[in-house]
Amino acid sequence: MNGREDERFEERLRELLSEDAETVRPAPAPYPAIRRRGLAERRRRVAAVGAALVTLAVVPAGAYALAGAGTDRGADTAAPKPSVSAPRTPAASPAPAGPGRPATPGQLVDGITFEQAADGLAKCLKAERTTLGGHRDLLGAPEDYRIVLAIPKTGDSNSPGDGLYVVGVRERQTDSRVICTLEDGVASGINVSSSDANGPDVGKVVPDINGGKLYRQSVLDDGNWKLPFRWGAIGTVEPSVAEVTVSYGGGPAVPAALDHGWFVATGTLDHQVTLAPRVRGYDEAGTLVYDSDTDPTYQRQL
């Protein structure tokens, strides 16, 4: 081609391109199709969320969640964790405390149960604390004691009602004790004693200096005791003492129970007496180490 023809070709080409620019435009976006597709997708998602909500609604409150999911180990099974909404079981209330039991069953006599003796001790301490007022803590609580003896109480002219005698000793004070008097189920008195009441020259066995109320009736009834009469004798012993016997009213010696530093004996009289019980103690070899008949601090005459 020569120069003239080139120019005419270029002009024609520009005209054709100019015409195409007016007619050739990008195709319009298919909005109807896009809208339909969007509506369908939204309905699918709503349906999926609804299904998930229904599933959550039926999961129980105590459902378990697995821990450790999403770790490198994959879906390892982990220990179940209770849901925070699971109800908690309330802790059980502790049982109320009470006194300790005697060392042997024979220390509760004539059908008296431990429950009856413990109830009597609690009533007695409660009544005395009320009387003591500001000094109510001096006696302590029932759980501070161990019951060593419970015997029937025979009414006399000084204390006419029948009932119980309950003897309790302080667990942390082996030489301190109370004798509770109960008449017809009601606490009517308490006798308190400790080693402070003993003299300076006591032996290996020490009969309770105030234990006479357990083995004698009122002096108002001399010659007129109510019979048969259930009696008891108590006192402290040193660890070297292996055996204690008590004889009363001319009867055979009764072996006493040894209960954590205390001796406890009981029996029945069918006649009135004038002498206190005779107490004897023996060591492991059977050697007599104490005899109340030779103890100058022991009140033999009733």
Confidence at residue 179, expressed as pLDDT on a 0 to 100 scale? 97
Confidence at residue 176, expressed as pLDDT on a 0 to 100 scale? 84
d(Cα 69, Cα 59) in Å, to the nearest integer?
19
Residue burial 227-256, b: 16+ Cβ < 10 Å; e: rest: eebbbbbbbbbeeebebbbbbbbeeebbeb
Residue burial 9-27, b: 16+ Cβ < 10 Å; e: rest: eeeeeeeeeeeeeeeeeee
**Which stretches in the chain have pLDDT values below 70?**
1-96, 131-137, 174, 196-201
Question: pLDDT digits over 90-128, tens only?
Answer: 555 555 689 999 999 999 999 999 999 999 999 999 998
Confidence at residue 172, expressed as pLDDT on a 0 to 100 scale? 79
Phi, psi (degrees; rounded to nearest 5) at 244: -130, 135
243-247/278-282 β-pairing: antiparallel
Confidence at residue 130, expressed as pLDDT on a 0 to 100 scale? 75
User: Which tokens in the block code for residue 276?
Assistant: 């206190």
User: Which tokens in the block code for residue 300?
Assistant: 């033999």
Decide if 290 contacts 205 (C-beta within 8 A).
yes
